[in-house]
Structure 1
Amino acid sequence: MTATTSTVEDITVVTAEGSIDSKTAGEFERTALTAIQGQREVIIDLTQVDFLSSAGLRVLLVVYRQLKAKNGQVVLVGTSEDIKDVMSDTGFLSFFSTVDTLAQGLALLQAK
């Protein structure tokens, strides 16, 4: 798993690739938490994520809670159907806006 950050149109984007599980969730969490410092809105691009364990779900929840405390928002991009199903079954999906493309995520955040 690799996690990188970038800024696109003044929005912070955290991009993850590979599997986010108990072995890689720590790296994902460090990258995401560093990226959201001072931010109210973030896009997490999961287009290249093939597996998300409960440890990965916990990281998403931590990011959500930190931004929600600042009246912020997290948009998930490219979430696979399998990951959406798991997030829906656990109630996590209701915390996030989900879109298919980065352009849609940017448009969603910029519309607010």
Structure 2
Amino acid sequence: MSLSSEKIGEVLVISASGQINSANAAQVESGLLAYVEQGERLCALDLSGLDYISSAGLRVVLILARGLKQKSGQLVLCGLQPQVHEVFDISGFLSILTVVASRSEAVSRMGEPVNKTV
């Protein structure tokens, strides 16, 4: 599992690759929350390189979304592979998180009003 980031305007795009599972979820969580603690408010989480996510990984994404919301920020997910998209769908997370197809769409969605409750 690896995380990388790049800044596009005011938006921090975080790319995750590999797998997020119970063995590495705590490490991924601390890595993602470090961005929030550093003051990032607008984050796009690019999961195009992620080929597996467990329930522990879903929890990490939810914690990131809540952390950003508490700071009046926003999280948009993009690039979900079909098997990862299915996990988000089955878990009901698609109804509470903003998910778009591409990184550019995620960046352009930042700042738009969000009606979803996290």
Is the 8 Å Cα contact of residues 28 and 60 (structure 2) preserved in structure 1? Answer: yes
| Per-residue CA distance 1:72-94 (angstroms, 9 max, x = gap) | 22100101222222212211122
Is the 8 Å Cα contact of residues 20 and 56 (structure 1) preserved in structure 2? Answer: yes
* In structure 2, C-alpha distance between the alignment counterparts of 1:21 and 1:55, rounded to whole Å: 6
> Runs of at least 4 residues of structure 1 off by over 6 A?
none
TM-score normalised according to structure 1 size: 0.89
* In structure 1, C-alpha distance between the alignment counterparts of 2:65 and 2:40, rounded to whole Å: 12
Deviation at 1:12, TM superposition (A): 1.0
| Per-residue CA distance 1:59-108 (angstroms, 9 max, x = gap) | 00101111122332210010122222221221112222111211111111
Aligned to 2:54: 53
Is the 8 Å Cα contact of residues 44 and 74 (structure 1) preserved in structure 2? Answer: yes
* In structure 2, C-alpha distance between the alignment counterparts of 1:70 and 1:88, rounded to whole Å: 26
Deviation at 1:5, TM superposition (A): 2.2
* In structure 1, C-alpha distance between the alignment counterparts of 2:71 and 2:102, rounded to whole Å: 25
Is the 8 Å Cα contact of residues 16 and 46 (structure 1) preserved in structure 2? Answer: yes
Is the 8 Å Cα contact of residues 12 and 36 (structure 1) preserved in structure 2? Answer: no
Aligned to 1:17: 17
Is the 8 Å Cα contact of residues 64 and 73 (structure 1) preserved in structure 2? Answer: yes
**1:14 maps to amino acid:** I
For the residue of structure 2 that corresponds to 1:7, the secondary structure is: strand
Aligned to 1:2: 2
Cα RMSD, aligned residues only: 1.6
Is the 8 Å Cα contact of residues 19 and 52 (structure 2) preserved in structure 1? Answer: yes
Is the 8 Å Cα contact of residues 13 and 45 (structure 1) preserved in structure 2? Answer: yes
Aligned to 1:68: 69
Aligned to 1:104: 105
Q: State the number of aligned residues.
A: 112
Instruction: Give ranges in structure 1 of 5+ residues lacking alignment.
Output: none
Deviation at 1:40, TM superposition (A): 2.3
**1:69 maps to amino acid:** Q
